[in-house]
Structure 1
Amino acid sequence: MMEKPLHIIDTTLRDGEQAPGVVFSFDEKMKIAALLDEAGVKELEVGTPIMGECEQLVIREIIRAGFQFKSTCWGRSTEEDMLAAEKTGASRMNISFPVSDIQQKAIGKSRAWVLDRVKPMMAFARQRFDFVAIGAQDASRANRDFLKEFISACLAEGANRIRIADTVGTLNPLSTMELFSWLTGLFPEVEFEFHGHNDLGMATANTVSAALAGCQTASLTVNGLGERAGNACLEEVAAAMRVSANSDCGIRLDKLQELCRTVEAASLRKIYESKPIVGEMICRHESGIHCRSLVKDQMSYQAFNPELFGRKTELVFGKHSGSGGLNHFLKSKGIHLAKEQLADAMERMKDAARSAKRAFDFEEAAVLLRPPLNETK
């Protein structure tokens, strides 16, 4: 059970930009940071300082800009990564260690090497940063006994938070809940963070499951931007926690549209039309059965009130439309058709929709219906 709202960390400027081909300019990063601040995100992972002086410059400017959120840098468990972060003026650092056998072998290391490195790296970090988070990279595929030993070693050296990363997205909601039930049972006083990837399409669900199992923090990206299939989506997790879990993460849901569209433009990664929360189609309805009910109660075929996200319910007309929804909107415009006229109008609209292979909004439908409508005036 959740004792307090999920703390959201946005990592769009770090893990999001790691998506192949994505490059944010200085101005784009500042704009995204400003919108995240307006949306109420309380912590940003602002970048990877070891990437070079340009990255350090942007991070330094974000930190100096006076935003309300806390700024955290990300780096590997090396002195050079931490020295690069120190140059930015950051007071918070997330240090990543490979904790699965497959990740360790890929870089020619071992479990013993990781454990031996914890104490000197933590000492080096604690001298330079006020807050040190530890990232357990590929924790979802790590040996449980080793993961427990690693976390214990990090806590003994003063780690402030432990990130559990599902680095290649192999968890599912049930295994995520089981993992965090186990972790929070072993370490009830520890702040755990979940970092989920979306390789199997479950990152959002896994993040919500982690939160429901007692995980206090989650790192997310806008639009789910990130490597391969991306990360858990900030907008989806915030909405799911509010609507499905009845928990307010402190995110301004009405700010998400502008935020997501800004990241869409900056990343050159188009938001697909039916994407949850921010897709163009999610508040748009054509089916006659749905539209007839939505006219009476907009919650009848919607999970949430669109106004919560700064949107409106939209009815469109096409092949699947019914006469009830169309007649309601015609009457709202002062247009009254006899039963035979309405049937004829519906048939002509369906024919047009089949030819165009799409639906029509009210203005387009009014044009299609113009001849018989003129007869009624």
Structure 2
Amino acid sequence: MNHSFSKVILNVIASNFPKLSGEIYKNSELLNYLNIKTKSANRGSKSRGSFANLYAIYVLVEDYIRNGYDKNDGYKEYSGAKFSDLFNRQRELPFGAKLQNHALNHRMNEEFRKYYPTCEYIPIIRDTTNRYWFNENLLKIKINGKAYNIAKSIIEIIDAYIEAKRDSFDKFINTCEKLKEIEDDSDKQSSDFVLGLLEPNVDARIFEIVSFAILKYNYSDEKVFFGFDPTELVEESLKLYKTGRTNANDGGIDFVMKPLGRFYQVTETTDVKKYFLDIDKLEKFPITFVVKSEDNSDILIEKIKRNAEAQYPVRTIVDKYISCIEEIINIPELKNRFANALEKGMLTDILSEIILQSKVEFNYEEKD
């Protein structure tokens, strides 16, 4: 696989092994894995980053180098790195503040095995005492009987990827800031920018953030009346709240609306198991699904229903689950609601919300 960042990887290897870079890359599953995981480097902020598995590699190889094993033998006798040290270190890295332990514990190994099923080595080794090692066999590449240690190259490649993603996100935030300064809410450049964030190939986190910003301001001028006495009703505006970070284990609630108590879940899939899992988590409480799809909402519902009927032969069960889908908001509907928000003069508010939520989501800190 060749992509724009592949050249950076090859340049890093060549700087450390001028005469053997091609052979080392060819013979290293780990370097080839990095090539796969860094394909989003130069695709801009809208493409999905791959930090979890890369950081699992990074912190272990960094520990390996810090203890001098890239230059000296003895790693076989090393007592291993503590989980707490590795976990805290990955959270210190850019975009890593909210990473969980899954990559260190199993996901990185599982994905590596998926790409290289015939490789006899697993990258991350751990024992029951929560000590971790990186498989040194993947760091020592043998060429003509001699071993060449690529640990330094691994760190340099991931550092370069981090910087590329940071630069992309800087540009994204700067573009939002500049477009926010445009006073004309009908400005095509600004609206086209937001619409471009609603495409099917956009990073799931960006899609969720933009969906939230649009829906929040689309609902903001809608009123409802509440009260315990018909003669004493109180007028309230609908308010949409983001309940946590994207891809979080929060029980399937991405947004919640006050005062209606309406739940929203953002998803990329039409896999019926995912929908029903979210419904089960909420004890079959009605949910509105915001789907990253351009398919018609009726078609999406019908697809979910057909898949459900294939898995559950009891009609009452299928009907109960389907009745819990309060509404499906697809990409065309989001674009319609964005157009409505533009007519209400809310473009600047939407851009401000995108900036705010993006900085929180991606642990963004301004450069000095």
Shorter-chain TM band:
under 0.3
Q: What TM-score comes out, normalization by structure 1 length?
A: 0.24
Q: What TM-score comes out, normalization by structure 2 length?
A: 0.24
